[in-house]
Amino acid sequence: MANNTFYIITLFALLAATSLTAQEAVPKNWDSEKIKGSQLIPYPSYTGNPYLTEKFVSGEIEFTDGTKIENLFLRYSTYRDEIIYFNSAISAQIIIDKISLKGFKLFTKEGANRIFRNQYYNGFLPGNRFFEVLNDGDIALLAYRTVVLQYCSVYNNEAGVLKNMEYQQNFNYYLYNSKKGYETIRIGKNSLLSKFDKSNQKLVKKLLRNNKIAIRDESGLIEAWKLIQINRIPTNF
Amino acid sequence: MLILFVAITGKSQEKNHFSLFTDRDLYASGETMLIKVYVPADEPSGIVNIDLLNTKGRIISGISKKITGHQADGYIYIPDSLSSGSYLLCTSTKINSSLTFKELYITNRFTGIPEVGTPVRASKIKPLKNRLIDDLQIEGLDKSVKAREKLEVSLNLPKDIVAQIEGNLFVSVSEVTPGYNSQSFQSTIHRDNFKSAEKEGVVLDGYLKDLKTGIPFKNGVVYLSIPDSIPRFDFYITGDDGYFNFQLDNYYGKIPVVVQGFDNEDKHLLKISVNRRDSLKNCLPDFESWEISPAFRTSAEESKDAVTFRKIFNQPEVAVQPAMKPGTDRYPFFGVPNIVVDPQLFINLPDFTEISRELLTGVKYRAYNRIPSLQIFNSAQRTYFNDSPLLLIDGIPVRDLSVIKDLGSKEIAKIEISMNERYYGNLKFPGVLAIHTKKADYSRVLVSDEVVKLNFDCIQPDVTLTTLSEHPLNEPDLRKVLLWNPSVKPGQTIKFNFGTSDLVGNYKLVICGADKDGSIFYKEHLFEVN
């Protein structure tokens, strides 16, 4: 009897294994990541950092058709407004075609997700730019993170070569609404208040005072804007 | 216990087969066969293949259809060249080892059923049975109706049946052949490693082998090009088995395709082959001789005459819906070009050497000792790339540089140049030169062991049956299929209109659907047109 049970169990196991093999997932080689881009030519070496991050960080890109590719090594060039990925299979740093992207995300060491969106900018030097989304909503708070190469006092670099230029941060902040477009905003209380009517300015001031928010840096601006959005205070923009 | 297990397995296998329905069982060559397929609920593939084959297993014609809600419907045009005899319709998917066959008889409309020779039919088969439902009421259709009569028929389905229906119902009204009862049966096929499931489109696959040894070639590069206003491009790096595949998502109808495979290191000559469904001889049943009844012979004779008349009066059986086209890319795969040159804006130049010298900044096309070379300027490095760039003619990569040697400005519509190192996945191109010819027929791309040009059958576009109102009264109405609605939304009352044709005889109304448990139910109603 015990033998019979053993044979039946074996038979069951065999049959189950066969049917499982038949339903095995099929390989899907055709949709392997095929990112289009061009070769990165190293930027001129000066003091300062032409990139947003010191090193390549883990990230995700989203194409215009909605396809997402995760677990890429990405680095955002603030100097050229380009997103670069490291293709480990061919050991190449590749600038991903901006036209193909909807946006990308960078996952920093601190655990923060930095979201960048590819948007058309119709102001000075119009064209598509990657904007960092600091706060999303009906009116989004965006940052255009650029680095410019500027003349500076003469210095010797690490190799002892005499240089007279450096990469300098030049971050611009915008309030953005898909219908109304872009409105420049600077870090500071006055700039923020100027986006409201006089009656609402008092409300904003009170809100900032009650929540002890000082707009001295980027985080202060983000915090203030978040609070304004929550309290639905209408802007004049 | 074992018996119980076998019984359960048998029951589940019954539900796991495809259910195949056709508008009729007897056809004449030159006619269109309408097909409805119910796919098992656990089928992972998104595309079903339906093939018409002869009794030797050779596929005569085949289609691929997208599965929507575990169902698909399509048509097969029966070639005029087919000889009279038994044929099989087979439905399958690329990864399912189960096949469902249906027997059919086709008469050649020029020769009819031959008096000599022994006709055959499948034998020793286990016919597939669907569940017959009796409690479905049909109103408005008498046992006998007149020719050219307009009918409004209602189907009344009980509430509990409606609640059990999965997806759409299928309704058809067509001529019945006396003396012939077509049967469906199941068979199995051995699949090689279940390679490529088709999801949103058909899969183009094949093998890359060493031309000399015939051994599958590892790390070979296979390019797929689909000419278009912005051409499609894809690539595949082969593994140990030399196998490659491309999923052609949302491509409908016949599309021109060029597939080429080569050794990236140029050390081996390779041969590329594309898989095609051409034979199913290993899955066929036995056949036995069969005596054709006089009633069947008469029906077949009348059937072929009706087809010829419809051809004379130019009455198509079905209207093919325009094929959907996948959206083209926003920009070419080689990026937005740095330079675009229209040679028509300049003086006429006789060959490409002259064009490159006079019109193309940063392009060096030379033919020293009759060996052509091509280099592109690397705008970032301020020097010429050492390697040859990617050369495209009408969007198709070309590796033989001599192909463009005699290309004059009269033949060229546009030249695009990309002067930087381009990447597409793991592929690297030292610059790109894309030539668009005026003919745009990619005739300069030569077929060889490494290059295959084909018109590839993708998903078949949908069709609708031509209706009575489309036939003028002074022309004979010789429709054998009076109604074909493969996707009817289920409801307690379903109403539909159709009209009988000038062809008198026996007809049947068929209603068919799938239950939530995957089993197929049907109801038939026979009536006479006189």
Q: Could you list the pLDDT tens digit for every one of the 530 residues in chain B?
A: 555 444 444 444 445 688 999 999 999 999 999 999 999 888 888 999 999 999 988 999 999 999 998 999 999 999 999 999 999 999 998 888 888 999 999 999 888 888 776 778 888 888 888 888 888 888 888 888 998 888 899 988 888 888 888 889 999 999 998 878 888 998 888 776 556 678 888 999 999 999 999 999 999 999 999 988 788 899 999 999 999 999 888 899 999 999 999 998 889 999 999 988 777 877 888 888 888 888 888 888 888 888 888 888 888 888 888 777 776 677 888 888 999 999 999 999 999 999 999 999 999 998 887 789 999 999 888 899 999 999 999 999 998 898 898 899 999 999 999 999 999 988 999 999 999 999 888 888 888 999 999 999 999 998 888 875 656 677 788 888 999 999 999 888 999 888 888 888 899 999 999 988 888 888 889 999 98
CA distance A30 to chain B (A): 5
B65 touches B460 (CB < 8 A): yes
Residues A59-96 have pLDDT tens digits of 999 998 888 998 899 999 999 999 999 998 889 999 99
A39 touches chain B (CB under 8 A): yes
Residues A162-201 have pLDDT tens digits of 999 999 999 999 999 988 899 999 999 999 999 999 889 9
Residue A27: list chain B partners with CB under 8 A: 195-196
Answer yes or no: do B234 and A34 touch at CB < 8 A.
yes
Task: Select from B52, B48, B50 the least CA-distant residue to B70.
Answer: B48
A120 touches chain B (CB under 8 A): no
Q: What residue of A is the nearest CA neighbor of B44?
A: A23
Rounded to 5°, the CA angle A14-A16-A22 comes to 105
- Indicate the pairing of strand B390-393 with strand B396-398: antiparallel
A22 touches chain B (CB under 8 A): yes
Task: Select from B416, B427, B338, B421 the least CA-distant residue to B381.
Answer: B421
- Indicate the pairing of strand B481-488 with strand B144-145: unpaired
Residue A35: list chain B partners with CB under 8 A: 423-425
Q: Looking at the partner chain, which of B9, B194, B423 has a beta carbon nearest the beta carbon of A37?
A: B423
A9 touches chain B (CB under 8 A): no
Q: What residue of B is the nearest CA neighbor of A36?
A: B424
The three-class DSSP label of residue B399 is coil
Answer yes or no: do B380 and A27 touch at CB < 8 A.
no
CA distance A52 to chain B (A): 22
Q: What residue of B is the nearest CA neighbor of A94?
A: B423
Q: Which site among B426, B427, B428, B432 would you substitute to test the A interface, given the most A Cβ atoms closer than 10 Å to its Cβ? A: B426
Q: Kindly report the backbone phi and psi dihedral angles of residue A130, in degrees, each rounded to the nearest multiple of 5, phi listed first.
A: -90, 115
A15 touches chain B (CB under 8 A): yes
Q: What share of residues in chain B are helix, strand, coil (percent, to 5)?
A: 10, 45, 45
Residue B333: list chain A partners with CB under 8 A: 36
B431 touches B286 (CB < 8 A): no
A35 touches chain B (CB under 8 A): yes
DSSP state of B158: -
Rounded to 5°, the CA angle B267-B268-B274 comes to 140
Residue A21 reports pLDDT greater than 60: no
Task: Select from A112, A106, A26 the least CA-distant residue to A61.
Answer: A106
Residue B222: list chain A partners with CB under 8 A: none
A24 touches chain B (CB under 8 A): yes
- B interface with A, Cβ–Cβ < 8 A, is 1-2, 5, 9, 42, 44, 95, 97, 194-197, 203, 234-236, 245-247, 330-331, 333, 335-336, 380-381, 420-426, 428
The three-class DSSP label of residue B471 is coil
Measured CA to CA, the distance from residue B177 to residue B181 in angstroms comes to 8
Stretch (H or E) spanning B205: strand B201-210
Q: What is the CA radius of gyration of chain A?
A: 26
Residue B419, Cβ density class (10 Å: 0-12 exposed, 13-18 middle, ≥19 buried): buried
Residue B331: list chain A partners with CB under 8 A: 97, 99-100
Q: How confident is the model at residue A119 (pLDDT cuts 50, 70, 90)?
A: very high
Residue with more model confidence, B1 or A224: A224
Structure-token pair, residue B313: 């009066």
A29 touches chain B (CB under 8 A): yes
Residue A17 reports pLDDT greater than 50: no
CA distance A26 to chain B (A): 6
Beta strands in B67-189 (DSSP E): 71-77, 85-92, 98-107, 120-123, 131-132, 137-139, 144-145, 150-156, 165-175, 184-188
Integer CA distances (angstroms), A219 to A54, A143, A222, A231, in order? 21, 12, 5, 18
CA distance B490 to chain A (A): 31
Residue A22: list chain B partners with CB under 8 A: 97, 194
Structure-token pair, residue B416: 């695009």
Stretch (H or E) spanning B496: strand B493-499
Residue A15: list chain B partners with CB under 8 A: 5, 9
Residue B428: list chain A partners with CB under 8 A: 90, 92
- Indicate the pairing of strand A162-177 with strand B85-92: unpaired
Answer yes or no: do B423 and A36 touch at CB < 8 A.
yes
Answer yes or no: do A39 and B380 touch at CB < 8 A.
yes
| pLDDT above 90: percentage of residues in chain A | 65
Q: Looking at the partner chain, which of A12, A26, A32 has a beta carbon nearest the beta carbon of B425?
A: A32
B186 touches B99 (CB < 8 A): yes
- Indicate the pairing of strand A140-156 with strand A127-135: antiparallel
Measured CA to CA, the distance from residue A192 to residue A207 in angstroms comes to 13
Structure-token pair, residue B400: 């033989």
- How many CA atoms within 13 Å lie on the side-chain side of A131? 21
Domains of chain B plus CATH, in order, are: 2-189+280-324+461-529 (2.60.40.1930), 201-274 (no CATH), 339-443 (2.170.130)
CB within 8 Å of B134: residues ≥ 6 apart: B523
Q: Looking at the partner chain, which of B5, B234, B422 has a beta carbon nearest the beta carbon of A38?
A: B422
Measured CA to CA, the distance from residue B173 to residue B33 in angstroms comes to 14
Q: Provide the 10 A C-beta neighbour count for residue B464.
A: 12
Answer yes or no: do B330 and A32 touch at CB < 8 A.
no
Q: Looking at the partner chain, which of B194, B422, B426 has a beta carbon nearest the beta carbon of A26?
A: B194
Answer yes or no: do B335 and A15 touch at CB < 8 A.
no
Q: Provide the 10 A C-beta neighbour count for residue B130.
A: 15
Q: What residue of B is the nearest CA neighbor of A38?
A: B422
In chain A the first and final C-alpha atoms are separated, in Å, by: 85
Answer yes or no: do A36 and B333 touch at CB < 8 A.
yes
Q: Looking at the partner chain, which of B5, B196, B424 has a beta carbon nearest the beta carbon of A26?
A: B196
CA distance A183 to chain B (A): 29
Residue A146 reports pLDDT greater than 90: yes
- How many CA atoms within 13 Å lie on the side-chain side of B355? 26
Residues B203/B209/B214/B217 CA torsion (nearest 10 deg): -120
Residue B221: list chain A partners with CB under 8 A: none
Q: Is the pTM of this model over 0.90?
A: no
Q: Which site among A39, A95, A101 would you substitute to test the B interface, given the most B Cβ atoms closer than 10 Å to its Cβ? A: A39
Task: Select from B276, B231, B261, B293 the least CA-distant residue to B435.
Answer: B231
Task: Select from A89, A201, A199, A182 the least CA-distant residue to A127.
Answer: A182
Answer yes or no: do B423 and A27 touch at CB < 8 A.
no
Q: Provide the 10 A C-beta neighbour count for residue B495.
A: 11
Q: Looking at the partner chain, which of B5, B42, B247 has a beta carbon nearest the beta carbon of A30?
A: B247
Q: Looking at the partner chain, which of B246, B333, B426 has a beta carbon nearest the beta carbon of A30?
A: B246
